[in-house]
Structure 1
Amino acid sequence: MHGTGAEVHGTRGVFAVDSTAPGSAPRGLDAFRRGWETQVGDDVFQLPAFSPDTIGDFRVKGNVAKVHGAAMADLHAESATRTADVPGGDQDLVAMYVVRRGAWTLGGPPGYGDRTVSAGQFLVRHLGNLTAFETSAHLTAKFLVLPPR
C-alpha cells in the first residue's frame, strides 16, 4: 500500500493510493482518508464514515486531485464499499459520476429514492446534502465534484 501527495503552487494537490496489494486492505481506508484530508481537504469535500465491512476490506487503487476548487478522482475498486453515515450540514455541490465497470448507487433526496449508475452510464446532480452510497466490487469509475463557488 502506498499513498503519495504533491503540493501544487503551495496549495493542496494530488494523491495516489493503492491498497490492492495482499495484506494492505486493513489500512487502505486510513491511507485514503489521510491523502484526502491532506491533499483535497475536509472543509468542503467531506468524507463520510464507512461501514465496518468497508473499513476491513478497502482495496482501491486510484488518483485523486483538487484543482481550482474542484475534486476529481479516477478509482479502481476491487472491494465493494458502503457508507455508514454521511457528514451533516448543507452542501452546495455539483457532482458527476461516470462508471465504466460495476455500479455506484447513490442515495437520493427524500421522496426520490436511490439512483444506481451502471457501467457505461453517468449521473450529474446537484448535492444539497451529501448522501449515502455504495459501490459494487470491481468498480472502475471517475467522479468530479464542483464547489459551491
Structure 2
Amino acid sequence: MTIRTKIIGTATLAALFAAPLAPAFAQTSDQTSEQSAPAPGQPMLQEDMPSQSFTDAQLESFVTAVDAVTEIRAEALLELQIAEPADAETVQAEAVTRMKTAVDETPGMDLATYNAIGAALHTDAELNDRVAALVKTRQSDTNDTTPQGDG
C-alpha cells in the first residue's frame, strides 16, 4: 500500500506541475464557454484570465479533484494500451467525461474553478507553493495512516 501511495502522490505532483490541466476541459466545458473566452482554438492568454486569489478550501478541493482526475487518467491510459486503435477515441472521450464528472462531484469544486486554478498554477509561483504544500501534507497524512507491515 505504501508504494501505491507514493506512486499516486508522485503522479499527482506530475499532474499538478507538468500536465496542462485547463486545456483538458476548456474546450468541452459549457461553464467555461459561458465566460468571456477567446475564439475557439485560441489559447487563453494570461492577460485574458481574471486575476483571482483562491481560498485554502478551494485549493484543498482542487487537490482532491486532481487526485480523482489523475486516477481516471491512469485508468484510461491502461485502457488505451489494450484497446483496438479504432476504439481509442471512444476511450479518450469517456475518460474526459469521467474526469469532468469527478471534478463536478468534488465538494467545493466546479470545472470553471478547476480550470482557473490549473491555468494559474502555470504562472503563479506563490499558488504553486501553496498547492505543493497541500499535496505534501496530504501525502504525509496518508503515509502516517497507512498501516506498515513488518514483513
Q: Does TM, normalized by the shorter one, top 0.5?
A: no
More helix by share: 2
More strand by share: 1
TM-score normalised according to structure 1 size: 0.21
1 or 2 for the larger relative contact order (CA 8 Å, sep ≥6)? 2
Of structures 1 and 2, the larger Rg is shown by: 2
